[in-house]
Amino acid sequence: METEESNVSQAEEFKLLANEAFKAHKYSQAIDLYTKAIELKGQNAVYWANRAFAHIKLEEYGSAIQDASTAIEVDQKYSKGYYRRGAANLAMGKFKEALKDFQQLKKICPNDPDAAKKLKECEKAVMKLKFEEAIAVPESKRRPVAESIDFRSIDVEPEYSGARIEGEVVTLDFVKKMMEDFKNEKCIHKRYAYQIVLQTREMLQALPSLVDINVPNGKHFTVCGDVHGQFYDLLNIFELNGLPSEENPYLFNGDFVDRGSFSLEVILTLFAFKCMCPSAMYLARGNHESKSMNKIYGFEGEVRSKLNETFVELFAEVFCCLPLAHVINEKVFVVHGGLFSVDGVKLSDIRAIDRFCEPPEEGLMCELLWSDPQPTPGRGPSKRGVGLCFGVDVTKRFLQENNLDLVVRSHEVKDEGYEIEHDGKLITVFSAPNYCDQMGNKGAFIRFEAPDLKPNIVTFSAVPHPQVMPMAYANNFLRIVWLEKKVGKYAVA
CATH classification of the domain holding 408: 3.60.21.10
Backbone angles phi, psi at 159, to 5 degrees: -80, -5
Instruction: Clarify whether residues 175 and 323 are in a common domain.
Output: yes
Percentage above 70 pLDDT, the chain: 97
Per-chain mean pLDDT for the chain = 93
**pLDDT classification of 489: cutoffs 50, 70, 90:** low
Assigned domain for 424 exists:
yes
Q: Is residue 458 part of a domain?
A: yes
Question: pLDDT value at position 476?
Answer: 73
In a domain, 473, yes or no: no
Mean pLDDT of 172-188: 97
Structural domain range at position 8: 2-136
pLDDT exceeds 70 at position 197: yes
Tell me, yes or no, whether 128 and 166 share the same domain: no
Q: Which of 102, 136, 170 is at the close of a domain?
A: 136
Q: Are residues 123 and 225 in the same domain?
A: no
Model confidence over 387-431: pLDDT tens digits? 999 999 999 999 999 999 999 999 999 999 999 999 999 999 999
Q: What is the CATH number of the domain that holds 55?
A: 1.25.40.10
What are φ and ψ of residue 420, in 5° steps?
-100, 125
52-91 pLDDT per residue, tens: 999 999 999 999 999 999 999 999 999 999 999 998 998 8
Q: Which residues of 211-231 are buried (b: 16+ CB within 10 A; e: fewer)?
A: bebebeeeebbbbbbbbbbbb
pLDDT at 488 over 60: no
Q: How high is the pLDDT of residue 453?
A: 97
pTM of the model: 0.94
What pLDDT was estimated at residue 72? Answer: 97
pLDDT at site 486: 43
Q: Which tens digit of pLDDT belongs to each residue from 134-144? A: 777 776 677 89
- Concatenating the DSSP letter of every residue in 174-196 gives HHHHHHHHHHTTPPPPHHHHHHH
pLDDT of residue 96 exceeding 90 = no
Residue 188 and residue 84 share a domain: no
Q: Active-site residues: which are they?
A: 288
Residue 265 included in any domain: yes
Same domain for 129 and 192, yes or no, is no
Check whether residue 124 and residue 161 sit in a common domain. Answer: no
pLDDT, tens only, 352-362: 999 999 999 99
Residues 371 and 245 in one domain: yes
The structural domain count of the chain equals: 2
In this structure, the answer to whether residues 168 and 244 fall within a common structural domain is: yes
Query: How many CB atoms within 10 Å of residue 424?
Result: 11
pLDDT at residue 120 greater than cutoff 90: no
Q: Are 356 and 427 part of one and the same domain?
A: yes
Tell me, yes or no, whether 150 lies in a domain. no
Residue 246 domain-assigned (yes or no): yes
> Is pLDDT at 436 greater than 80 in this prediction?
yes
Quote the pLDDT of residue 479.
Answer: 73
Mean pLDDT calculated for residue range 152-168: 95
Exposure of 108 by Cβ count < 10 A (0-12 exposed, 13-18 middle, 19+ buried)?
A: middle
Provide mean pLDDT across the span 198-218.
98
Q: Is residue 282 part of a domain?
A: yes
**CA gyration radius for the chain?**
23
Q: Is residue 147 part of a domain?
A: no
Residues 313 and 344 in one domain: yes
Shared domain for 303 and 372, answered yes or no, is yes
| 167 shares a domain with 124 | no
Which of 108, 136, 164 terminates a domain? The answer is 136
Find the helix packing angle between 2-23 and 45-57, rounded to 10°: 20
pLDDT band per the 50, 70, 90 thresholds, residue 157: very high
pLDDT at 144: 92
Task: Tell me how far apart the alpha carbons of residues 127 and 134 are, in angstroms, rounded to a whole number.
Answer: 11
